[in-house]
Amino acid sequence: MSETAATNAHPGLLEKQFESLQTQHEARKLGMWIFLATEVMFFGGVLTAYTLYREMYLPGFVQGSHFLEVTWGAVNTGVLILSSLTMALAVRSAQVGARKLVTLGFLGITMLLGAAFLAIKFIFEWRHDYVEHLVPGIDFTYAGPHPAHVQLFFCFYFFLTGLHALHLIIGIGILAVLCLMAWRGRFSPQYYSSLEVAGLYWHFVDIVWIFLFPLLYLIGGR
């Protein structure tokens, strides 16, 4: 379908400030990339603090890190990487004009994988840490060496993974909206910018975890 035909078929697609669907697509992508750069700085502030304290208090941070289950972290890493694949395939399916059920399917699997990540994190990891009295500010008792630094580690652990989980929850919400749009047949090879832009966001959340996993779980060798 040509661009003009696509715009005629779905009149609401091209916003009036843009001269063409192409420009609109490019602009939205650029907008999301810039937003991701702001997210780099947003997480970056915490990472700066984390880097400094880790360098200063490495023994305490190693202690804290050993409380985390590498297995769960590794499984979660795999889950998110797989979800990135399915997200990329969802975008691709719209690009090639596949049937809407295909796009819907990929989006759905991505959402499920995201939910699986959250389940593992909240039900298996965070709850375990709570039971072990390792939640600073709420219930933190630790009798080993470097208590202050271990507490600091767990501050960062919960803050970083919590911030990441928040972004993931928002991502799942966005995907839900996209599922609705896909169900209504809104995507086509001429118009899939929302999918691509959401994909960029989703991949970014994956990248953040790609860094958080080694930084939090694999400190100082095991």
Partner 1 sequence: MQGQHIVPVKTYVGVFVALILLAALTTALAYVPMGIGNTVAALAIAVAKMALVALFFMHMRYDKGLTRIVIIAGLMWLAIMITLTASDEFTRHWSPIPSNWGPAISMPQKQ
Partner 2 sequence: MSVDVAELSTRSCVHYLNASYGIKSWLLTTDHKRIGLLYLVSITFMFLVGAGAAALMRLQLLEPYGAIVQPETYNKLFSIHGIIMVFFFLIPSIPAVLGNFLVPLMIGAKDVAFPKLNLLSWYIFVLGSLFTLYCVIFGGVDTGWTFYTPFSSMYSNTHVLAAALGIFVTGFSSILTGLNFIVTIHRMRAPGMTWFRLPLFIWSIYATSIIFVLGTPVLAITLFLLTLERVLHVGIFDPAVGGDPLLFQHLFWFYSHPAVYIMVLPAMGVVSELVAAYSRKRIYGYSFVAFSSLAIAFISFLVWGHHMFVSGQSIYAGLVFSLMSFLVAIPSAIKVFNWTATLYKGSISYDAPMLYALGFIGLFTMGGLTGLFLASLATDVHLNGTYFVVAHFHYIMVGGAVMGFMGGIHFWWPKITGRLYPDKWARLAALIIFAGFNLTFFPQFMLGYLGMPRRYAVYPAQFQVLNVMSTAGATILGIGYMIPLIYLLWSMRYGPVAGPNPWRAKGLEWQTPSPPPEENFEETPIVTEEAYSYASVPPEKSRV
Please give the residue ranges that form the binding site for partner 2 (CB under 8 A).
15-19, 23, 26-27, 30-31, 34-35, 37-39, 41-46, 48-49, 52-53, 56-57, 136-138, 148-149, 151-152, 155, 159
Instruction: Find the shortest distance in angstroms from Cβ 11 to partner 2.
Output: 17
Q: How far apart are CA 65 and CA 90, in angstroms?
A: 36
Q: Residue 140 corresponds to which tokens in the numbers above?
A: 């933190």
- Contact partner, 74, from partner 1, partner 2, none, Cβ < 5-8 Å per class: partner 1
Q: How far apart are CA 201 and CA 191, in angstroms?
A: 18
**Binding of partner 1 by 84 (CB under 8 A):** yes
Dihedral sign, Cα of residue 192, residue 197, residue 201, residue 203: positive
Host H or E run for residue 139: strand 139-140
Q: Which of residues 1-40 bind partner 1 (CB under 8 A)?
A: 3, 21-22, 25-26, 29-30, 33-34, 36-38, 40
DSSP classification of residue 134: E
208, exposed or middle or buried, with CB in 10 Å at 0-12, 13-18, 19+?
Answer: buried
Q: Which of residues 94-123 bind partner 1 (CB under 8 A)?
A: 95-96
Instruction: Find the shortest distance in angstroms from Cβ 142 to partner 2.
Output: 12
* Nearest CA-CA partner of 161 in 55, 38, 76, 35: 76
- Contact partner, 136, from partner 1, partner 2, none, Cβ < 5-8 Å per class: partner 2
- Phi, then psi, of 69 in degrees rounded to 5: -85, 110
Instruction: Find the shortest distance in angstroms from Cβ 27 to partner 1.
Output: 11
CB–CB of 117/86 below 8 Å?
A: no
Residue whose CB is less far from partner 1, 131 or 170 = 170
Instruction: Find the shortest distance in angstroms from Cβ 116 to partner 2.
Output: 27
Residues near 117 by beta carbon (within 8 Å), at least 6 away in sequence: 76, 79, 80, 83, 168
Residues lying near partner 1 in the complex (CB under 8 A) are found at 3, 21-22, 25-26, 29-30, 33-34, 36-38, 40-41, 44-45, 47-48, 51-52, 55-59, 70, 74, 77-78, 81-82, 84-85, 87-89, 92, 95-96, 189-190, 196, 199-200, 203-204, 206-207, 210-211, 213-215, 217-222
